Amino acid sequence: MATLNILYEDPHILVCVKPHGIATQSKSIRYPDMVSLIKNHLAKSSGSRNPGSAEPYLAVIHRLDQPVAGILVFAKTPAAAKDLNKQLQNQGFGKYYRALVANTPSTKEGTLENYMVKDARTNTSRICSAKENGSKIARLHYDTVPVTDWLFTAPAAFHGTELEIHLDTGRHHQIRVQLAHLGTPICGDHKYGKAERGTPALCSYHIDFVHPVSGKEMTYEISPRNFETEC
């Protein structure tokens, strides 16, 4: 059973680190997801684990793909959820990722802007034209950074680089699709790259937002101290 790595909690919000391999939220009851783990934690903390007790309120503010690890923010009240969702829609959330990619981009830094469409049948997304039905704009900024040897384990004979990515939009599998389209697929990503089945070297390592009640600037970042397993 996975254990929760909580970075911050108060009566309004909860910030935690999601391990890779665990879904943010799943319809399956066979495997634990972050929502069920946190609701169990909230019920235990409040002492209301009786069968007849009301289920704790918890709102998913943003998601990470199941294979991807990193920081997630949840709301514990409807008012906090409303405020955080408004920040998310107005780009008030600063969401930063690190990715170990095969090959090296032609420019040290840049902005990727594409139209994407999701195929629900295959649970994949792809680059498309702006005129295609269901297409949505996807935008991110990337910058090359020194390889973080504690965050990712580079494969043998590695000839790629590590990127820091700032998301402007939050499309399905966006980073994985756009980087593969650029010719720099994420290491370990067999769905969009040429890797064998494994874990994509992608991690949501930094997030900042405004506390929905106090108005305080909240900033959290993955470090070896609070993230003991690799992304």
The string of pLDDT tens digits covering residues 153-181 is: 776 667 789 999 999 998 999 999 999 99
∠ Cα 125 127 131 (to 5°): 110
Q: What are phi and psi of 214, to 5 degrees?
A: -80, -20
Q: How confident is the model at residue 59 (pLDDT cuts 50, 70, 90)?
A: very high
Identify the pLDDT of residue 146. Answer: 87
pLDDT above 50: residue 231: no
- The residue-averaged pLDDT of 115-134 equals 94
Spacing of C-alpha 141 from chain mean position: 16
Average pLDDT, the chain: 88
Cα gap 194→49, rounded to integer Å: 46
Q: What is the pLDDT of residues 129-154, one digit of tens each?
A: 999 999 999 999 999 998 877 778 77
Identify the pLDDT of residue 197. Answer: 67
* Buried residues in 58-75 as b, exposed as e (16+ CB within 10 A): bbbbbebbebbbbbbbbb
Least confidently predicted of 158-162, 177-181, 182-186, 202-206: 158-162
Identify the pLDDT of residue 86. Answer: 95
Closest among 125, 147, 148, 151 to 71, alpha carbons compared:
151
Structure tokens at 122: 């295959």
Identify the pLDDT of residue 228. Answer: 47
Q: How confident is the model at residue 35 (pLDDT cuts 50, 70, 90)?
A: very high
Q: What is the pTM of this model?
A: 0.86
Closest among 71, 96, 97, 88 to 210, alpha carbons compared:
88
Q: How confident is the model at residue 52 (pLDDT cuts 50, 70, 90)?
A: low
Check: CB of residue 213 under 8 Å from CB of residue 80.
Answer: yes
pLDDT above 50: residue 217: yes
Identify the pLDDT of residue 30. Answer: 73
Tell me the one-letter amino acid at 99. A
Q: What is the pLDDT of residues 81-93, one digit of tens each?
A: 999 999 998 878 8
pLDDT above 50: residue 114: yes
Closest among 110, 171, 166, 183 to 135, alpha carbons compared:
171
Q: How confident is the model at residue 225 (pLDDT cuts 50, 70, 90)?
A: low
- The residue-averaged pLDDT of 99-127 equals 94
Identify the pLDDT of residue 229. Answer: 41
Structure tokens at 178: 């756009």
Residues 6+ apart with CB under 8 A from 148: 98, 162
Check: CB of residue 205 under 8 Å from CB of residue 151.
Answer: yes
Cα gap 194→183, rounded to integer Å: 11
Cα gap 154→222, rounded to integer Å: 18
